[in-house]
Amino acid sequence: MARSPRCAAGRRLQLPLLCLFLQGATTILFAVFVRYDQETDAALWHWGNHSNADNEFYFRYPSFQDVHAMVFVGFGFLMAFLQRYGFSSLGFTFLLASFALQWSTLVQGFFHSFHSGCIHVGVESMINADFCAGAVLISFGAILGKTGPAQLLLMALLEVVLFGINEFVLLSLLGVKDAGGSMTIHMFGAYFGLAVSRVLYRPQLEKSKHRQGSVYHSDLFAMIGTIFLWIFWPSFNSAPTMLGDGQHRTALNTYYSLTASTLSTFALSALVGGDGRLDMVHVQNAALAGGVVVGTSAEMMLTPFGALVAGFLAGTVSTLGYKFFTPVLESKFKVQDTCGVHNLHGMPGVLGALLGVLVAGLATHEAYGDGLESVFPLMAEGKRSATSQAMYQFFGMFVTLMFASVGGSLGGFLLRLSFLGSPPDSQCYEDQIYWKVPGEHEDEAQGALRVEEPDTQA
Amino acid sequence: MARSPRCAAGRRLQLPLLCLFLQGATTILFAVFVRYDQETDAALWHWGNHSNADNEFYFRYPSFQDVHAMVFVGFGFLMAFLQRYGFSSLGFTFLLASFALQWSTLVQGFFHSFHSGCIHVGVESMINADFCAGAVLISFGAILGKTGPAQLLLMALLEVVLFGINEFVLLSLLGVKDAGGSMTIHMFGAYFGLAVSRVLYRPQLEKSKHRQGSVYHSDLFAMIGTIFLWIFWPSFNSAPTMLGDGQHRTALNTYYSLTASTLSTFALSALVGGDGRLDMVHVQNAALAGGVVVGTSAEMMLTPFGALVAGFLAGTVSTLGYKFFTPVLESKFKVQDTCGVHNLHGMPGVLGALLGVLVAGLATHEAYGDGLESVFPLMAEGKRSATSQAMYQFFGMFVTLMFASVGGSLGGFLLRLSFLGSPPDSQCYEDQIYWKVPGEHEDEAQGALRVEEPDTQA
Amino acid sequence: MARSPRCAAGRRLQLPLLCLFLQGATTILFAVFVRYDQETDAALWHWGNHSNADNEFYFRYPSFQDVHAMVFVGFGFLMAFLQRYGFSSLGFTFLLASFALQWSTLVQGFFHSFHSGCIHVGVESMINADFCAGAVLISFGAILGKTGPAQLLLMALLEVVLFGINEFVLLSLLGVKDAGGSMTIHMFGAYFGLAVSRVLYRPQLEKSKHRQGSVYHSDLFAMIGTIFLWIFWPSFNSAPTMLGDGQHRTALNTYYSLTASTLSTFALSALVGGDGRLDMVHVQNAALAGGVVVGTSAEMMLTPFGALVAGFLAGTVSTLGYKFFTPVLESKFKVQDTCGVHNLHGMPGVLGALLGVLVAGLATHEAYGDGLESVFPLMAEGKRSATSQAMYQFFGMFVTLMFASVGGSLGGFLLRLSFLGSPPDSQCYEDQIYWKVPGEHEDEAQGALRVEEPDTQA
């Protein structure tokens, strides 16, 4: 808090200038590269003989809307559980995701829909951009409360690029299947964020311990996030899959997996609670692990039974992670994971990748019939056996881990650049540094500021 | 509160063991019986010559998502109006509904889609399972705050079975029409829950009176539930109807009915308020009665005018019920109805069933044209007259009442099994028995515990 | 507060009687005029040879649901930012919009779908009615906290009629394009509300100043509104456009525009904040300006680049408006704009209208190909040049301004009728006048009532 005035003025301009610079850069790149695709362009769509009913919009837009709700409502409110950090959780989610949508339109566009010098956009690119924003928000969850908005924007700038490369390597180069993103979204986002958090490790973080918990009402706000993520997860996993049975089956599998992870979360939460009482943190988070764990395999012939088993395991692992592994992660590995993304996205993501290996390895022409073409095109064309597809899936997991951890470490060092001014240890998880906070709360908070200021000057 | 240590340990394990047992049982039954249906299975869908656009998914999934949101967001937050019971309202809704989705997939599957030894699942079974979960949550509303999670799971175990039987009797055996479930969902859920509540009657419940109301913020959380139920109700009633004009008309009728119940709720609430002020309880609940009352008839040729009249009556009856009938229900009939489900689901459900009798009885070949086949297939085939269809509808109402009240009483006695450990009279409507509650609130609550503990030991 | 008992009794009956009268009147008009349209009527739909998949329902209902959510969840919670006015914000939104849906079905029906003596309704009329309700709620935002529910209903009664006429003049007589309603909805609603507010100017409003702000939790509730408006705005603008590429392109443009307005809002908010901190009011409102500004042009070939520029400008203008123009509006123009609708809907609406002029003026046969028929039918038929279309667009803006300001002034004088009993200056922004408020909050509020009552008698 003992900064020089000039430095303070600099810091004051940092966020505005960074926002304006990033918006200016994406705007220019949009002008040069981004064009409507064939289904969005007035002239192109009406050229040829389509029925309007065939427009991709009608097959994907409802799913897109659900995904969009998950990214902004779901992630935003889920992170609003902290007692004094609701404005930042919701506001920075909003800012980060908005930037990520623009920036990943460009990055993913270069890799996936770059034809004759232009990036072509439509509902599929909208879904993919939202997926990338989801990964950025997962990483945000690991460092929630310990970084400012300018740092977060820089993290997003880097992460979106690496997300795009990793996704390209897996889906296009390795021919790995990962519709719902157990690897490309959840594992990537989680381990990227954890690596950032490792580099930004704060040994004195307990100075902000009193602000790190929830209050009764903030837990209810967080439940808005949980429930919207839970109900729309079937749309998330099915949004980018093949039309017809593909979307249908993916949604169904995800639906069952989530019910099972919810039951196992309640069971385990009460079991490990000591006094048999439930822990809201588990319900808010681990109940969602069933969506993560079938991200890779839900489009495959997982069977409803398989979905239940997968969900059950994910909820169990996730709940046990919150109880037993998160403290170890901090004490032994020096990784401070604010939202427990390792438990919700990291471990269930790994489990989901392995489940994908298993289910791909068990694929037969008999089980998929002519549908094999849609799910495993390389197998249908005879270029791969089920076993080799499984090997590629397995390899994809390690590629993702590598990209995420190296990229995240890089990101962490970027964020440590001193002029970015991260909040002092005693002011983590506190809205008031970044936001004008209305009266009532300001009084308490300023009290807190007064009390703790000497501490940082000492 | 004066339990022996061993008993406490047993109670601590009750919920985990019950969750694990139920999840284990449904998982085994899923392995044996549940299979993808033709629209969800890769091999079956690609066998034959479908366009992907014909997949049922595209006709029903958007409605399914709205129904799913109603069950989890709508019911969950609507019940979060209690000042100290938000965690339980949201959490137990989550737990109960998750279990009900799995269990009713099996039960409804046996009755409706059991072919060659297997239950076939797809988007229609997902919708139907959500409907059944809705009925369970309605019953939960009647006993909210007075039962623990293990009791609730047992109630769901029984109720889902009876729901499935009642639905089978009405829809399949009697040929009754009830798309939006005025009878099968609302009446059944309400009277089942009220019967349970009757058996669990607590003469000393006023010991928890101070916790039975809302606080300002909890009423705003409850409004999240109300509004999501209200906006998505057109999808609820239309989700399982025939495609084309059927879904279209059902959504339209429900939309108008809800606007009318909202206006009559405001009118009546101010009228009976004594000082002309509005009551939030009425707005949160009675405004929704317009969705319940057209559950049976919305798919018929009710006309927009008919929808307005129906909604108006339902809002009126429901508001008057909250004001005048709920107190009588407790004092005279010893039924303690926490959420007033009798006013929101019971009476409007009966009204909706009677409206279905009327509108079915007025059906003519002229009004329905070739659409008669979709709405009243037995009439179109000449097997029934409009009058006899009306008689069957009327009879279906009594069958439902019988199943609900007998089943609910049975359920009540099941829940009274002493080892299930329901909360003491002084600790009803209190999260802290089942949940770790964050600091701030814990202090107050523990204060409350301290104060009241002697009371229960006395 | 020094009213006679008889007057108080009269006021007590005012809202109930008005609700019952309005509901009675619309019910009778529905009976006489409103009929199912061809896609909703059982006999008409089955007459001829349609596939159910062709029913308009499947093309528009998902968008309708998003619009419906915006009107009730979005506007409702966005206005719940006031610390003591959450019940009224949510409740009156509910009441007003319910009435507006019925009433505008009739008014819009007379203008747009009146054939052989009947109004024909279906999913398109549902969307249009929700649009009209949106305009009414925008006006409500300008006078939020300063009027009672009976006054608001009367305002809606008038505004819906003028909305219908203005829309008819623009769309049908002038052939102006305005799918997402930059003019017909946002400009109209904003300037109508501001004109009402001007007439109802209260020089002594600072007596309620302490209640005019937010508290920490009420700002989080408001963010529910913001985020739902933000995520569903692509559906809002695209709901009534031509099928196929039209809906697709409109959604895409809106999506990008909103991301840009979000970035510029954060940039400007921090820039003008003095101490570099962000203001929640800006984020809650100005971030949405990107949806307003492309309301006219999103269905045109705006290009993604154009959408970013438009959104960026709108967020900038809107944020600056909140900071610098709102105080001037009150001090110089005597317009008290509670929610800042001038910044969110007024100025971005004008900007959107002008953008529509520009993009229409730049339209070429080359850019639109055969799609010109859908977007600019009069140009495709050779009846208009791009320039003359632009002129009509420009003229439409002034027509809207005229209808809104004259109509709003008229509305203001209507609302000043003394028997309508608007709240005293010291009791603005206070739920307790209209609602039974639960205990905790009631105590504070009654304290406030006691303290301030002498003030009004003086």
CA distance A31 to chain C (A): 5
Contact C256/A102, CB-based, under 8 Å?
yes
**Nearest alpha-carbon partner for C423 in C433, C408, C409, C415:** C433
Strands C34-36 and C118-121: parallel
Quote the CA–CA distance of C234 and C292 in Å, as a whole number: 10
* CB distance A193 to A142 below 8 Å: yes
Q: At C3, is the pLDDT very low, low, confident or very high (cuts 50, 70, 90)?
A: very low
Going by C-beta distance under 8 Å and a sequence separation of 6 or more, which residues neighbour residue A337? A142, A193, A194, A197, A326, A329, A330, A343
> Which chain A residues are closer than 8 Å to B433 by Cβ?
277
Q: Is B214 in contact with C438 (Cβ distance < 8 A)? A: yes
Which tokens belong to C128?
């249009």
Interface residue of A27, A123, A153 to substitute, partner C, most C CBs within 10 Å:
A27
The two three-digit tokens of residue A268, written as one number: 């385990």
Helix (H, G, I), strand (E, B) or coil at B298: coil
Angle between helices B5-33 and B86-112 (to 10 degrees): 30
CB contact under 8 A, B59 and C45: no
* C431/A contact by beta carbon, under 8 A: no
- pLDDT tens digit sequence for A310-355: 999 999 999 999 999 999 999 999 999 999 999 999 999 999 999 9
Q: Quick check: C1 pLDDT over 50?
A: no
- pLDDT for the residue numbered B10: 67
Q: What is the pLDDT of residues C7-17, one digit of tens each?
A: 566 678 899 99
Inform me whether the C-beta atom of residue B39 falls under 8 Å from chain A C-beta atoms.
yes
pLDDT at site B275: 86
Question: Which residues, including other chains, have CB under 8 Å from residue C430's CB and lie 6 or more apart?
Answer: C84, C85, C145, C208, C211, C423, C445, C448
Interface probe for A, chosen from B17, B18, B23, B70 (most Cβ of A below 10 Å), is B23
B122 touching chain A per CB within 8 A: yes
Do residues A12 and C338 make contact, with C-beta atoms less than 8 angstroms apart?
A: no
Q: Chain C, 2-21: which have a CB under 8 Å from a chain B CB? A: 8, 11-13, 15-17, 19-20
> Per the CB < 8 Å rule, is C301 touching A438?
no
pLDDT of residue C50: 80
On the question of pLDDT at B381 being above 50, the answer is yes
pLDDT of amino acid A12: 81
pLDDT value for B9: 63
Average confidence (pLDDT) over B277-286: 95
The 10s digit of each residue's pLDDT in B299-346 is 999 999 999 999 999 999 999 999 999 999 999 999 999 999 999 999
Q: B 212-231 residues with CB below 8 A of A? A: 217, 221, 224
How are strands ordered across the β-sheet holding A114-115? A34-36, A118-121, A114-115
pLDDT of residue B7: 55
Reported as a pLDDT band with limits 50, 70 and 90, residue A47 is: confident
Taking a C-beta distance cutoff of 8 angstroms, is the pair C94, C79 a contact? no
Tokens 């006993």, residue located: B143
- Enumerate the residues of chain C whose CB falls inside 8 A of the CB of residue A50: 244
Query: If you count DSSP H runs as helices and E runs as strands, how many of each does chain B have, helices first?
Result: 21, 5
Q: What is the mean pLDDT of residues C429-441?
A: 84
pTM of the predicted protein model: 0.95
Give chain B positions within 8 Å (CB) of C216: none
Interface test with A, best of C65, C224, C256, C288 (most A CBs within 10 A): C256
Considering only the beta carbons, identify the residue of C227, C268, C305 that sits closest to A73. C227
CB contact under 8 Å between A54 and B53, yes or no, is: yes
Q: Cα B421 to the chain's mean position, in Å?
A: 25
Q: Which residue has the tokens 């580099």?
A: A199
C200, C206, C212, C215 alpha-carbon torsion, rounded to 10°: 180
Between A and B, how many CB-CB pairs are < 8 A?
214
B1-36: pLDDT as tens digits: 444 444 566 678 899 999 999 999 999 999 999 999
* Average confidence (pLDDT) over C411-432: 89
Q: Give mean pLDDT, residues B178-203.
A: 96
Tokens (6 digits) for C223:
């963010």
Question: What residues of B are in contact with residue C433 (Cβ under 8 Å)?
Answer: 277
Residues 6+ apart with CB under 8 A from A314: A257, A261, A264, A289, A290, A292, A293, A348, A351, A352
**What's the mean pLDDT in B178-202?**
97
Q: Is the pLDDT of residue B290 over 60?
A: yes
> pLDDT grade, residue A7 (50/70/90)?
low
* Segment A57-89, tens digit of pLDDT: 999 999 999 999 999 999 999 999 999 999 999
C-beta atoms of B271 and C433 within 8 A:
no
| Residue B2: per-residue pLDDT | 42
Nearest by CB: C34 against B232, B246, B304: B304
Q: What is the DSSP letter of A187?
A: I
Are C43 and B371 a contacting pair at CB < 8 A?
yes
Backbone φ and ψ for A35, nearest 5 degrees, come out as -135, 155
**C contacts of B368 (beta carbons < 8 Å):** 42-43
> What is the H or E stretch that residue C232 is in?
helix C216-238
Q: What is the pLDDT of residue B209?
A: 87
Quote the pLDDT of residue A449: 41
Give the closest residue to A348 by CA, choosing from A295, A273, A405, A281: A295
**Hey, is the C-beta of B24 within 8 angstroms of any chain C C-beta?**
no
What is the CA angle C291-C294-C295, rounded to 5?
80
**Apex B97 CA angle, B94 and B102, nearest 5:** 125
- How far apart CA A10 and CA C13 sit, in angstroms, is 60
The subunits that touch chain C, with at least 3 C-beta pairs less than 8 Å apart, are: A, B
State the Cα–Cα distance between residues B311 and B51, nearest whole angstrom.
Answer: 40
Q: Are C295 and C186 in contact (CB under 8 A)?
A: yes
Interface pTM (ipTM) of the complex? 0.94
> What pLDDT is stored for residue A50 in this prediction?
80
Q: State the Cα–Cα distance between residues C419 and C12, nearest whole angstrom.
A: 11
| Residues in chain A closer than 8 A to B45 (CB atoms) | 244-245, 248, 371
- Tell me the average pLDDT across C324-332: 93
- The Cα B400–Cα B415 span in angstroms is 22
CB burial of residue A368 (10 Å; 0-12, 13-18, 19+): buried
Average pLDDT estimate for B110-139: 95
- Contact yes or no for A13 and C217 at CB 8 A: no
Q: How far is A347 from chain B (nearest CA, A)?
A: 21
| Nearest Cα residue in chain C from B372 | C42
Determine how β-strand B278-279 pairs with β-strand C435-436.
parallel
Q: Is B288 on the interface with C (CB under 8 A)?
A: no
Q: Is A91 an interface residue toward C (CB < 8 Å)?
A: yes
Q: Does residue B408 contact residue B194 with C-beta atoms inside 8 Å?
A: yes
Residue C340, Ramachandran bin (φ over 0: left; ψ between -120 and 50: alpha; else beta): left
In chain B, positions 48-77, which contact chain C (CB-CB < 8 Å)? 53-54, 58-59, 62, 66
Kindly tell me the burial class for residue C442, based on how many C-beta atoms sit within 10 Å of its own C-beta (0-12, 13-18, 19 or more).
middle
A122 to chain C: which residues are within 8 Å by CB?
Answer: 248, 252
Q: Which two tokens stand for residue C70?
A: 């915006």
A447 pLDDT more than 50? no
* CA atoms of A296 and C382, how far apart (whole Å): 53
A residues 337-366 closer than 8 Å to B (CB): 366
DSSP-based three-state secondary structure for C338: coil
pLDDT tens profile A269-307: 999 987 889 999 999 999 999 999 999 999 999 999 999
Distance (Å) of CA A24 to CA A382, C267, C406:
48, 12, 40
CB of B396 closer than 8 Å to CB of B176: yes
Report the pLDDT value the prediction gives residue A421, as an integer from 0 to 100. 77
Query: Could you give the percent of chain A with pLDDT greater than 70?
Result: 93
pLDDT surpassing 90 at residue C324: yes
How many CB atoms neighbour CB A188 within 10 A?
Answer: 32
Instruction: Please tell me the distance in Å from B333's CA to the nearest CA on chain A.
Output: 34
Is there a contact between A291 and A258 (Cβ–Cβ < 8 Å)?
A: yes
B384 and B175 in contact (C-beta within 8 Å)? Answer: yes
Instruction: Return the SS3 of A323.
Output: helix
Instruction: Note whether C11 contacts B216, CB cutoff 8 Å.
Output: no
Nearest-neighbour CA in chain A from B384: distance (Å): 37
Closest CA in chain C for residue A28: C305
Measure in Å the smallest separation between the Cα of B128 and chain A Cα atoms. Answer: 13
Q: Are A212 and A81 in contact (CB under 8 A)?
A: no
Burial class (CB in 10 A: 0-12, 13-18, 19+), B424: buried
Kindly tell me the sign of the dihedral angle through the C-alpha atoms of C295, C301, C303, C306: negative
Tell me: the pLDDT tens digits for B237-264? 999 999 999 999 999 999 999 999 999 9
Q: Do C59 and A58 touch (CB under 8 A)?
A: yes
Hey, are the CB atoms on C95 and B263 less than 8 Å from each other?
yes
pLDDT of residue A256: 97
Higher-confidence residue: B260 or B116?
B260
Average pLDDT over residues C255-284: 94
Kindly give the pairing relationship between strand A118-121 and strand A114-115.
antiparallel
How many Å apart are CA C170 and CA C188, to the nearest integer? 12
